[in-house]
Amino acid sequence: MRFDLQIIASWIEPGARVLDLGCGEGNLLYYLKETKGVRGTGIETREDKVAQCIASGLSVLQGDLNTEVADYPDQAFDYVILSQTLQQVYEPAVLIAELLRVGRRVIVSFPNFGHWRNRLQLLVSGRAPVSEHLPYEWYDTPNIRVITIRDFKRFAVGMGIRVLKEVAINTHHHKEQGHIVHFLANLRGTYGIFLIGSGGARREKGFGGGWRHGS
Amino acid sequence: MSEYLSSLDGDAASVGVVEKKFFTFAAPPHCLVLESGARFGPITLAYETCGTLAPQGDNAILILHALTGDSHVAGTYSATDPKPGWWEIMVGPGKGIDTDRYFVICANVLGGCMGSTGPSSLNPATGEPYGLDFPVVTIGDMVEAQKALLDHLGISRLLAVIGGSMGGMQVLEWCVRFPERVAAAVPLATTPRHSALAIAFNEVARQSIMADPNWNQGNYYGGKKPDLGLAVARMIGHVTYLSDEAMRRKFGRQLQDRSTFSFNFDADFQVESYLRYQGTKFVERFDANSFLYLTKAADYFDLADRGGGSLAAAFAKARARFLVVSFTSDWLYPTARSRKMVQAMKKSGLDVSFCEIEAEWGHDAFLLPSPRLSELIRGFLDRVWREEHGAGRGEGEHAF
């Protein structure tokens, strides 16, 4: 299983109710079900992946995660997982608010655009970074949101979201090996993973309110 | 709809020879009280089974047929019978619904004409066929009759109820009417209620039967039958089971056995010839009055009625795990209808999986060979089987 998914799995307690958005072939859900007895549901758009999940005994719905989430009652899940998908979401603020409605906790992971290689590429070549983690050109990328770990933390503050856990990891795209980055996370981490819940101190002002920018 | 499968796939395993059996109940004065309020009996259901019922009786799957189907779901009636059951591709040893593991039951619906009591059956009070004296039955009445059969067979809880189209309606009805008796449900290519469009097509089909002078207010059993009306009804139905794309690919504008137009009203186009053939073939095996009664039952069905008008409230009564499947080119019961069901199930906290299968053949796709559908059903049933037999018995559990 992908390294970021291993970290996410380690945060989930046995028997929890879990919703995995963009669950793909269901690797995480299957692992959680087998090892922790979680009651999991997945949402996935692609028919072949949905079929693969259901055939392997998972509960999975074919559909768009933005609309599928809306049908669930409040706090229907203990954990809602959005792994490596936030950067492809059209309205991230709306979606995350919705996830915090249906889930007690939300786990979000995304490729960190603030990684030093990305910064260096832009600085040196003057071109939008293309890397192992962000392997697309500007014109064909599904990643319509450029997020850094620092950006997400700012976003959480602005949204009144409590960050309960945060981890930066350095791993290769879709690889099982990796390590946690403790120092200079926004420079050295290739992915950020956050465990969030509602109920942080919400700032009065919206975004762009003149917060300090740093490394 | 079984005309798609005229012969057995050579290397596929089959359940082999099956026998049509009969169960009679509700003899007066113990009549079944129908949804209309009418008391009716006796009732006979024709049914077939494949596989072996486990000693604990916990491996039973009830398959519910569509409008023109019957109890003959799989296998053949004799070693030399060339025509297998209507879901031979799905039901059998090692197949999607594996008869090595599960005990499969399929009964002809109440109101049908393939051995179960319907308008063509003899009314014991008069010795004549019922005709229009047969009471109007509903999907709920069909399910009540099936429940009586299961009681007779000693099956208190079904591992799964599975069916497509009108069979899917019965699946849904089972789940809210007898929630404690259903562990899992697979409604395929179905809808929680008919749209005006679906009712309209049924009404045109019924009118074509009733406009046939031979129909004679339903009293035709001694003489000429309303074959023409029934054939046209079947042609209309058949069009709704296909899709624009399927018809374009299958027929296009190709002419049948000719190179130029006839300049009369013969079947010039292949599609005309095909529909005429389907219509003619259908009248050999189906009763016109049954067609009227069954289409009416499908039109009346509205699952939301079980929840005081709310689909979510109706599903709140259910306890089964669901696998909902729709097909992209099905415009009779389109994916949007399945999504509505899924939405209501989610609101009610039910464990539901949903897959929309890419298929060009329209509504009838659920009856056609599809490795994907087989794989979905096999995996889903396997999971239910393990959950029912494993440590985490999920009965009644709202497993999100």
> At A186, is the pLDDT very low, low, confident or very high (cuts 50, 70, 90)?
confident
Closest to B20 in 3D by CA, of B51, B3, B41, B45: B45
> At A212, is the pLDDT very low, low, confident or very high (cuts 50, 70, 90)?
very low
> At A215, is the pLDDT very low, low, confident or very high (cuts 50, 70, 90)?
very low
Helices (H), chain B: 139-153, 166-177, 196-210, 227-241, 244-250, 270-285, 288-300, 311-315, 335-347, 371-389
Q: Which positions in chain A touch B321 (Cβ < 8 Å)?
A: 59
B354:A63 CB<8 A: yes
pLDDT in tens, B307-354: 999 999 999 999 999 999 999 999 999 999 999 999 999 999 999 999
Say yes or no to pLDDT of A160 above 70.
Answer: yes
pLDDT in tens, B259-272: 999 999 989 999 99
A55:B379 CB<8 A: yes
> At A200, is the pLDDT very low, low, confident or very high (cuts 50, 70, 90)?
low
Is B273 a member of any domain? no
Closest to B234 in 3D by CA, of B285, B298, B310, B162: B285
| Cβ neighbours around B336 below 10 Å, total | 10
Chain A contact for B343, CB < 8 A?
A: yes
pLDDT at B229: 98
B346:A57 CB<8 A: no
> At B179, is the pLDDT very low, low, confident or very high (cuts 50, 70, 90)?
very high
Q: Report the CATH number at residue B357.
A: 3.40.50.1820
Angle at A150 between CA A145 and CA A156, to 5 degrees: 80
The pTM (predicted TM-score) of the whole model is 0.92
> At B375, is the pLDDT very low, low, confident or very high (cuts 50, 70, 90)?
very high
According to the 3-state scheme, what is the secondary structure of B349-364?
CCCEEEEEECCCCHHH
Q: Which of A12, A61, A78, A81 to mutate to test the interface with B (most CBs of B within 10 A)?
A: A61
> At A201, is the pLDDT very low, low, confident or very high (cuts 50, 70, 90)?
low
Mean pLDDT of chain B: 93
Query: CB under 8 Å to A5, separation ≥6 — which residues?
Result: A27, A28, A31, A83
* Enclosing domain of residue A55: 3-113+146-198
B339:A39 CB<8 A: no
Is A76 a member of any domain? yes
Is A37 a member of any domain? yes
B6 is catalytic: no
Is A136 a member of any domain? no
Is B337 a member of any domain? yes
According to the 3-state scheme, what is the secondary structure of B9-75?
CCCCCCCCECCCEEEEECCCCCCEECCCCCEECCEEEEEEEECCCCCCCCCEEEEECCCCCCCCCCC
B64–chain A nearest CA distance, Å: 22
Nearest to B376 among A39, A54, A61 (CB): A54
Specify whether the CB–CB gap between B287 and B118 falls below 8 A.
yes
Q: Which of A60, A67, A69, A71 to mutate to test the interface with B (most CBs of B within 10 A)?
A: A71
Number of domains in chain B: 1
pLDDT at B1: 41
pLDDT at B396: 39
Specify whether the CB–CB gap between B18 and B74 falls below 8 A.
yes
> What count of Cα atoms within 13 Å lies in the side-chain half-sphere of residue B7?
3
Say yes or no to pLDDT of A183 above 90.
Answer: no
Is A159 a member of any domain? yes
Chain A contact for B353, CB < 8 A?
A: yes
pLDDT in tens, A34-93: 999 999 999 999 999 999 999 999 999 999 999 999 999 999 999 999 998 898 899 999
What is the CA A179 to chain-centroid distance, rounded? 17
Is B229 a member of any domain? no
Q: Which residue of the set B98, B227, B330, B351 is catalytic?
A: B330
Residue position matching structure tokens 């792994």: A83
Is B246 a member of any domain? no
Say yes or no to pLDDT of B118 above 70.
Answer: yes
| ipTM value > 0.95 | no
Is B293 a member of any domain? no
Say yes or no to pLDDT of A29 above 80.
Answer: yes
Is A67 a member of any domain? yes
Alpha carbon distance B163, A122 (integer Å): 58
Q: Which positions in chain B touch A23 (Cβ < 8 Å)?
A: none
Helix (H, G, I), strand (E, B) or coil at B286: coil
Q: Which positions in chain B touch A59 (Cβ < 8 Å)?
A: 321, 351-353, 399
Share above pLDDT 70 across residues of chain B, in percent, rounded to a whole number: 94
Q: Which of A62, A65, A75 to mutate to test the interface with B (most CBs of B within 10 A)?
A: A62
Is B271 a member of any domain? no
pLDDT in tens, B125-170: 999 999 999 999 999 999 999 999 999 999 999 999 999 999 999 9
Alpha carbon distance B202, B150 (integer Å): 31
pLDDT at A208: 36
Is there a cis peptide before residue A73, judged by omega within 30 degrees of 0? no
Is A137 a member of any domain? no
pLDDT at B399: 40
> At A173, is the pLDDT very low, low, confident or very high (cuts 50, 70, 90)?
low
Say yes or no to pLDDT of B393 above 90.
Answer: no
Q: Report the CATH number at residue A72.
A: 3.40.50.150
* Enclosing domain of residue B363: 2-195+302-389
pLDDT at B66: 97
Amino acid at A170: N
Helix axes B371-389, A47-55, angle to 10 degrees: 30
Number of domains in chain A: 1
Pairing of strands A59-62, A39-44: parallel
A60:B353 CB<8 A: yes
B330 is catalytic: yes
Mean pLDDT of chain A: 89
B197–chain A nearest CA distance, Å: 25
pLDDT in tens, A126-155: 988 888 778 889 899 888 888 999 999 999
pLDDT at A203: 47
Chain A contact for B374, CB < 8 A?
A: no
B11 is catalytic: no
Mean pLDDT of B81-102: 96
Say yes or no to pLDDT of A209 above 70.
Answer: no
**Burial (CB count within 10 angstroms: exposed 0-12, middle 13-18, buried 19+), residue B258:** exposed
Is B280 a member of any domain? no
Tell me the two tokens of residue B363: 């509504």
Specify whether the CB–CB gap between B330 and B362 falls below 8 A.
yes
Helix (H, G, I), strand (E, B) or coil at A40: strand
Is B308 a member of any domain? yes
B351–chain A nearest CA distance, Å: 7
Alpha carbon distance B74, B89 (integer Å): 8
Alpha carbon distance A207, B34 (integer Å): 63
